[in-house]
């Protein structure tokens, strides 16, 4: 009986256990079934999952079509119908985004958002979807636009801003400098503004400030204020020949007001050209082969000569200088400068650190050149120039030619003989009125010219060469010389101008030894002065030179000839 009871108990517990197991299994089955269904409900939806957005626009829970519609409305409103205001100060330009052929890839992004987590196991997809609640995903749209349209627009407005800067203007009036202030220019920075406009469109901006660079002029009022003092000046006297004076005046006017910047060259003939009647130049007396003739632009070499001496006084760098073929009487030998067409010119460089203003004019019987700038030399430094004749060369023998217009035995001098010279020009340097140095500036050679004498045809002078002509030496054809006027020994002598000449210190006897070209010993002022005075000419030498000067008095004007022998119209 007891055993039967125990068996019943066991069966009862067994049944309870089985039922419990079945209940648990059923419960678990129900749980997993419900969970599966819930996951399926979350995962298996024809929508974009919650937690996904595009450019901050929530599209979670929307179908693909709904998301597309939503994005289309927003994009159209935000972009395609949007305007951007582009401005700088009072200039404003308004453009639609569509002008730049703007396009957006939002359709592609919606499709990408829709397909997110649409593959994989249910559990994997469910887990990822649930994770979106915390780790949201925001897609960015890639905007596409025509970059060439952006460049085209920026380039089209650059001329509204590109303004050339204007340098300060300097001129001289009533012996004073007047300087007009400079004006800044501007330039639209195309590359920078193209980049900025792209960035603005990418970020749907409605406004953009243009970048305009300020362009400073090269020469300012402050820069020109360095032109304030005379650094070199010179004047030469001219005669009262109206045509010649006009030529001097025209040439001076072309030079007057020239600004020469540091390191810049000035070519005199280039500056005053073209030498033509159209430019106002007139026929004036010149000398060709010792004969007085009229030539276009007669006298203009006096402009180069005067400028040369002003440059010497300023101690600027001389690049090209050539003396005349024969001496000229409006300045000491060795101090002249000639020009001839395009192959001979006077050229100098502004070797200072500041701009130079050239003042050039004809007034009161004088041609004046003044160079204004900033004098960088010590105020105790003074300079003078001394011309020394190293040798005086006799002219070749006269050439005689027959002339049928002359009666038998008659003789007429067609060209007078002219002495030649070798001359050295020295610069004397003083410190505190004490001579400390002597430097060679140039060496000039003036060719001697033989006389040409016409003889009556019936009077034939026989020679070994011809029954018609006597020529005792070679003739230098087409040499020219210009003299402004006869130097009167009674005129006042002035070292710094050419109103007179200092013949007693200038001329030395034929073929004497020149002063050494190297700088002299600076030990004492007395030694330098003695070295300078050793070569002062004797009275006899002076008289010989006076005879030569009288021979030159017949020469009134002159020009050089070009290589072909044709007059260029360039006066000496």
The answer to whether the CB of 151 falls within 8 A of the CB of 126 is no
Partnered with residue 215 across adjacent β-strands are 185
> Phi and psi (nearest 5°) for 529?
-60, -40
Domain boundary among 169, 191, 223: 223
Looking at the structure, tell me whether residues 434 and 300 fall in a common domain.
yes
Domain boundary among 180, 208, 223: 223
Quick one: average pLDDT of 269-284?
Answer: 94
- Residue 10 domain flag: yes
Looking at the structure, tell me whether residues 158 and 253 fall in a common domain.
no
Quick one: average pLDDT of 380-391?
Answer: 97
pLDDT top residue among 256 and 32: 256
Quick one: average pLDDT of 510-531?
Answer: 40
As a whole number of angstroms, the distance between CA 335 and CA 324 comes to 10
479-493 per-position pLDDT tens digit: 333 333 222 333 332
Looking at the structure, tell me whether residues 219 and 258 fall in a common domain.
no
- Residue 265 domain flag: yes
Band (435; pLDDT cuts 50, 70, 90): very high
Domain boundary among 201, 223, 245: 223
- Residue 268 domain flag: yes
- Residue 139 domain flag: no
At 547 the three-state DSSP class reads: helix
Using the Cα atoms of residue 12, residue 16, residue 17 and residue 19 in order, give the sign of their dihedral.
Answer: positive
- Region at 280 (left for phi over 0; alpha for psi -120 to 50; beta for the rest): left
Q: Report pTM.
A: 0.64
Looking at the structure, tell me whether residues 279 and 239 fall in a common domain.
yes
Using the 8-state DSSP alphabet, how is residue 77 labeled? I
- Residue 494 domain flag: yes
The answer to whether the CB of 248 falls within 8 A of the CB of 238 is yes
pLDDT top residue among 571 and 321: 321
Looking at the structure, tell me whether residues 246 and 206 fall in a common domain.
no
Looking at the structure, tell me whether residues 316 and 431 fall in a common domain.
yes
Looking at the structure, tell me whether residues 479 and 442 fall in a common domain.
yes
Looking at the structure, tell me whether residues 167 and 263 fall in a common domain.
no
The DSSP-derived string for 339-391 is: -BTTTB--EEE--SSS-EEEEEEEETTEEEEEEEE---S-TTEEEEEEEEEEE
- Residue 83 domain flag: no
Packing angle, helices 64-75 and 106-114, rounded to 10? 150
C-alpha to C-alpha distances, 135 to 63, 191, 374, nearest whole angstrom: 21, 40, 76
198-252 per-position pLDDT tens digit: 999 888 888 999 999 999 999 999 999 999 999 999 999 998 899 999 999 999 9
Band (78; pLDDT cuts 50, 70, 90): low
Looking at the structure, tell me whether residues 211 and 251 fall in a common domain.
no
As a whole number of angstroms, the distance between CA 443 and CA 425 comes to 6
100-157 per-position pLDDT tens digit: 887 778 889 999 999 998 888 888 888 888 888 888 999 988 877 888 999 999 999 9
Looking at the structure, tell me whether residues 356 and 505 fall in a common domain.
yes
- Residue 182 domain flag: yes
Mean pLDDT, the chain, integer: 80
Q: Is the peptide bond before 53 cis (omega within 30 degrees of 0)?
A: no
Number of residues in the chain: 572
In the prediction, which pLDDT does 100 show? 87
pLDDT top residue among 5 and 165: 165
Write down the residue that tokens 């006009």 correspond to.
246
As a whole number of angstroms, the distance between CA 7 and CA 117 comes to 58
In the prediction, which pLDDT does 499 show? 29
Has residue 11 got a pLDDT over 90?
no
Looking at the structure, tell me whether residues 201 and 289 fall in a common domain.
no
As a whole number of angstroms, the distance between CA 192 and CA 195 comes to 5
In the prediction, which pLDDT does 340 show? 84
Band (15; pLDDT cuts 50, 70, 90): confident
Band (291; pLDDT cuts 50, 70, 90): low
In the prediction, which pLDDT does 290 show? 55
Looking at the structure, tell me whether residues 212 and 276 fall in a common domain.
no
Into how many domains does the chain fold?
Answer: 3
- Residue 92 domain flag: no
Using the 8-state DSSP alphabet, how is residue 479 labeled? -
Identify the domain containing residue 20 by its residue range.
Answer: 1-42
Q: What beta strand segments (E) does 238-365 contain?
A: 258-260, 265-267, 283-288, 291-296, 317-320, 347-349, 356-363
């Amino acid at each position: 009986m007891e055993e039967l009871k125990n068996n019943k108990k066991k069966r009862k517990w067994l049944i309870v256990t089985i039922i419990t197991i079945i209940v648990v299994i059923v419960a678990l089955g129900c749980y997993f079934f419900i969970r599966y269904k819930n996951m399926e409900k979350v995962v298996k939806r024809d929508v974009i999952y919650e937690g996904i957005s595009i450019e901050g626009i929530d599209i979670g829970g929307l179908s693909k079509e709904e998301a597309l519609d939503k994005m289309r409305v927003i994009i159209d409103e935000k972009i395609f119908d949007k305007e951007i205001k582009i401005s700088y100060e009072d200039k404003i330009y308004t453009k639609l985004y569509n002008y730049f052929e703007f396009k957006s890839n939002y359709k592609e992004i919606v499709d990408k958002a829709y397909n997110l987590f649409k593959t994989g196991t249910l559990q994997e997809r469910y887990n990822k979807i649930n994770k979106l609640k915390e780790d949201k995903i925001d897609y960015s749209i890639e905007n596409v636009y025509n970059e060439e349209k952006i460049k085209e627009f920026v380039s089209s407005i650059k001329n509204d801003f590109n303004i050339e800067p204007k340098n300060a203007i300097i001129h001289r009036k009533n012996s004073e400098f007047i300087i007009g202030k400079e004006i800044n220019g501007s330039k639209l920075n195309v590359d920078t503004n193209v980049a900025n406009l792209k960035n603005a469109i990418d970020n749907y901006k409605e406004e953009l400030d243009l970048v305009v660079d300020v362009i400073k002029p090269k020469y300012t009022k402050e820069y020109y204020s360095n032109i304030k003092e005379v650094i070199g000046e010179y004047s030469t006297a001219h005669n009262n020949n109206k045509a010649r004076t006009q030529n001097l005046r025209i040439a001076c006017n072309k030079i007057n007001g020239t600004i020469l910047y540091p390191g810049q060259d000035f070519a005199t003939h280039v500056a005053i050209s073209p030498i033509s009647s159209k430019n106002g130049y007139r026929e004036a007396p010149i000398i060709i082969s010792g004969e007085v003739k009229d030539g276009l632009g007669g006298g203009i070499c006096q402009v180069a000569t005067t400028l040369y001496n002003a440059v010497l006084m300023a101690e600027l760098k001389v690049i090209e200088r050539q003396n005349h073929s024969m001496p000229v009487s409006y300045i000491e030998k060795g101090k002249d400068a000639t020009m001839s067409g395009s192959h001979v010119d006077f050229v100098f460089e502004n070797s200072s650190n500041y701009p130079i203003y050239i003042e050039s004019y004809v007034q009161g019987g004088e041609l004046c050149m003044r160079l204004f700038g900033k004098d960088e030399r010590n105020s105790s430094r003074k300079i003078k120039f001394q011309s020394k004749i190293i040798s005086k060369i006799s002219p070749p023998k006269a050439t005689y030619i027959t002339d049928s217009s002359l009666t038998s035995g008659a003789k007429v001098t067609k060209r007078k003989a002219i002495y030649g010279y070798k001359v050295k020009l020295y610069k004397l340097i003083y410190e505190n009125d004490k001579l400390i140095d002597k430097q060679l500036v140039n060496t000039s050679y003036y060719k001697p010219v033989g006389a040409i004498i016409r003889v009556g045809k019936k009077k034939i002078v026989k020679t070994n060469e011809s029954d018609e002509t006597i020529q005792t030496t070679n003739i230098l054809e087409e040499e020219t010389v210009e003299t402004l006027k006869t130097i009167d020994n009674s005129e006042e002598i002035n070292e710094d101008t050419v109103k007179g000449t200092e013949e007693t210190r200038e001329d030395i006897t034929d073929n004497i030894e020149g002063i050494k070209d190297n700088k002299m010993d600076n030990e004492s002022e007395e030694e330098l002065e003695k070295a300078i005075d050793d070569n002062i000419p004797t009275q006899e030498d002076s008289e010989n030179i006076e005879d030569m000067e009288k021979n030159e008095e017949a020469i009134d004007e002159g020009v050089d000839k070009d290589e072909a022998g044709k007059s260029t119209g360039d006066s000496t």
